[in-house]
Structure 1
Amino acid sequence: MAHRILFVCTGNTCRSPLAEGLLSLLAEQQGLSVEVKSAGVAAIEGCSMSAHSASILREKGYKGSITSKPLDGNLVGWADLILTMTVNHKRAVIQQFPDSVDKTYALKEYAENDSHILEAVREHEALSAELQLKQALGRQIGTSERARLLELVDRLPDYDIADPFGGSRSSYEISAAEIERSLRKLLDRLSSQG
């Protein structure tokens, strides 16, 4: 069975098309069955991919063409996995499509494979939920709990991929390299899942 992966950014002209094209190429090279699409939380239907994103993909051997699509319920329903370019995109997807919460992640977050970071993320999420519940119940949050939360926040990586929109070719190359590193980790994870 092919994995159906949807990449999401803002306008669907720079980062998410790069991710779509790169994953298609990398999966094909590894013989992995994936279906890939991309969309934007603020995209306009049918816009061309940015010239720099398109040229980077062509140089890597991508033959397809990608035009922008706004995120909608059909795309969300189609996807097994929704990977966003930033944590804010993840929030926007989940806010608009609450049923997608269990399949929506920031790309770098989902691809993370450092066990120490993953443990810090789990502890941070659990402690955050516990403290929010305490606050909602009107209970005091202790100094040690606040200190531990701040310590965990300091250990968490930045899961955002910078938007190169309007930038130089080198800014697009930096984003493409960052996306590709995460996609290689993603493919390792998908391969191990079978």
Structure 2
Amino acid sequence: MNILFVCTGNTCRSPMAEALFKSAASRKKLDVSVKSAGLFAPENGKASLYAVEALFEKNIALNHSSAPLSKEKIEWADLVLTMTEQHKFLARQEYPDDQEKIYTLIEYVMGGNGDIADPFGGSLSAYQKTRDELEHLLKELAEKLSETMQ
């Protein structure tokens, strides 16, 4: 299964989600490939230093270059998980033929509505809070997928 995480600039939330989910999926021995992209991301931008630091605290390396969302990435993905309702709306608008595989992370995992707060420009503690929220959701996602992929 190919999973694509999407945020705005692909420097904070979606790269953190990609790295955290790779770790969670590895622990569950899931057969998944994971990438991330941003709706307004530059090509080859650097991950936020605080995103790198927040993951380092969990012994997860973040070697990341940003990438814009593209038709190729959408077609590669079996599941596209956005960080906000607005990201989902924009992605579905841009790629109407692929709407059925685009969800917010919270919607797909928990069945509800809600956004992952953007820590961009904030303090390390803001990144840690986002990391912790993502980590919880991504453990749930790994559990959900391990049940359906068996």
TM-score higher than 0.5: yes
- Please list every run of 5 or more consecutive structure 1 residues that lacks an aligned counterpart in the other structure: 113-117, 119-156
Answer yes or no: is the 8 Å Cα contact 1:39–1:69 preserved in 2.
yes
Q: Establish whether residue 24 from structure 1 lines up as the match of residue 22 from structure 2.
A: yes
Match of 1:96 in 2: 94
Q: Establish whether residue 161 from structure 1 lines up as the match of residue 116 from structure 2.
A: yes
- Please list every run of 5 or more consecutive structure 2 residues that lacks an aligned counterpart in the other structure: none
The structure with more helix, counted as a fraction of residues: 1
In the TM superposition, residue 63 of structure 1 has moved relative to its aligned partner by: 3.4
- Structure 2 counterpart of 1:76, from 64, 74, 84: 74
The number of aligned residues is 149
Counterpart residue type for residue 44 of structure 1: P
Deviations 1:14-48 (A, max 9, x none): 00000000001111122112111000000000000
Q: Establish whether residue 183 from structure 1 lines up as the match of residue 150 from structure 2.
A: no
- For 1:176 and 1:61, the matched residues in 2 are separated by 13
| TM-score normalized by the length of structure 2 | 0.95
Superposition RMSD in Å: 1.2
Aligned-pair identity (%):
46
Match of 2:108 in 1: 110
Counterpart residue type for residue 131 of structure 2: A
Deviations 1:144-194 (A, max 9, x none): xxxxxxxxxxxxx54101100000000001111111111111111101102
- For 1:106 and 1:158, the matched residues in 2 are separated by 8
- For 2:61 and 2:135, the matched residues in 1 are separated by 17
- For 1:32 and 1:101, the matched residues in 2 are separated by 25
Which ranges of 4 or more aligned residues in structure 1 deviate by more than 6 Å?
none
Match of 2:58 in 1: 60
Greater relative CO, 1 or 2 (CA 8 Å, sep 6+) = 2
In the TM superposition, residue 61 of structure 1 has moved relative to its aligned partner by: 2.5
